[in-house]
Chain A
């Protein structure tokens, strides 16, 4: 059985339990549901809110370099810390936080395979106590936008016939979901997908227990199933760039694709962009 391309980036729940008091690591919980941390979290873990902390609150963008420095300093994370992310929904939000940390140049980022669900299923300890960590003086050394695609990159990408992966549900991909009456604000005036994009819903890469599928299975899904290869430039997108960060993680670290970008503008940008080409 093949191994992941970068197996070191994944740690097990056992490993995390053994390292809860390790001063060189900081455990970060990043969830879709903002209350989960409050009702119980892994001891010594700190909470990040993807929406209010990792995004700029005025402009549609990620947290600025300065605010990221202030945020990490406040939470007691230093440049040398290895940050272990875990979260709900098969680590979807953990991958989102991981990707954001990578854009802002944090070096050592890890994911706890299986996320919060696995920790719950294994009956491991949750606490409500919030750790008091000494403040640090965090400095962003480099902003790495090579893993981020903007709309002009996408235009260039489709013009040169390079592959895209749309990780939304089949109904969002086909455009059908936009017509749901109850979601008038959900983002886009046009339905469909970016021309040429393959549809591989993000959760295809996760097992029932929240862990990632095996390397062999992932090769089957992305390489054999979609004809993608490691040397190709790939752009992944969804609706706002959160689900696609999970796929970005899988392609980059588990399969070893060399150049994968997450298009965080995603469908809420593309589906609203005047004259942007769309396929149904």
Chain B
């Protein structure tokens, strides 16, 4: 797990190719969604419909700590990378910590220049989705 500020810093310090490499690493590091969670996911309810790419999010909480599972198909590595940043930043935090994460987190990564604003809208939607749903998740027993 890397903190929001650490992630922002690593992107801000990277040049253009460095950002592409970072995104690629995040994309490759997105954990596979376990079968147990895949079977619970509803392909409609858990889909982030604002994203043109199929992105499915499942949020759990255990002992107060949040785990985020995200399913993004391989042919969309950029979206996988962006979603993986969010999973990395927020898994293990409490719902309150996630809810109070800086609203400009995504824009501060400085990726709009690399990806264009059009590609950033979808990921902002995933960010909003995580923030708005995290308080509603129930403890896993």
Name A's B-contacting residues (CB within 8 A): 33-36, 38-39, 51-52, 88, 117, 120, 180, 182-183, 185-186, 240
Contacts and interface: CB of A to CB of B under 8 A. Distances in A.
A35 B50 CA distance: 21
Given A182-B121, A186-B118, A240-B118, 17 more contacts: A33-B76, A34-B20, A34-B78, A34-B114, A34-B115, A35-B23, A35-B27, A35-B77, A38-B21, A38-B77, A39-B24, A39-B77, A51-B116, A52-B113, A182-B49, A183-B50, A185-B121
Interface string B17-58: 000110110011000000000000000000001100000000
Main secondary structure of the interface of A (DSSP, over half): loop
Contacts of A34: 20, 78, 114-115
Contacts of B23: 35
A39 B84 CA distance: 16
A183 B49 CA distance: 11
Interface residues of B, number: 22
Interface in B37-91: 49-50, 75-79, 81
B14 interface: no
Interface string B114-126: 1111100100010
A52 B121 contact: no
A35 B24 contact: yes
Interface centre among B28, B81, B116 (most CB of A within 10 A): B116
A33 B49 CA distance: 18
B76 to A, nearest CB: 6
B81 A35 contact: yes
B77 A33 contact: yes
B40 to A, nearest CB: 25
A195 B26 CA distance: 45
A117 B76 CA distance: 12
A91 B28 CA distance: 24
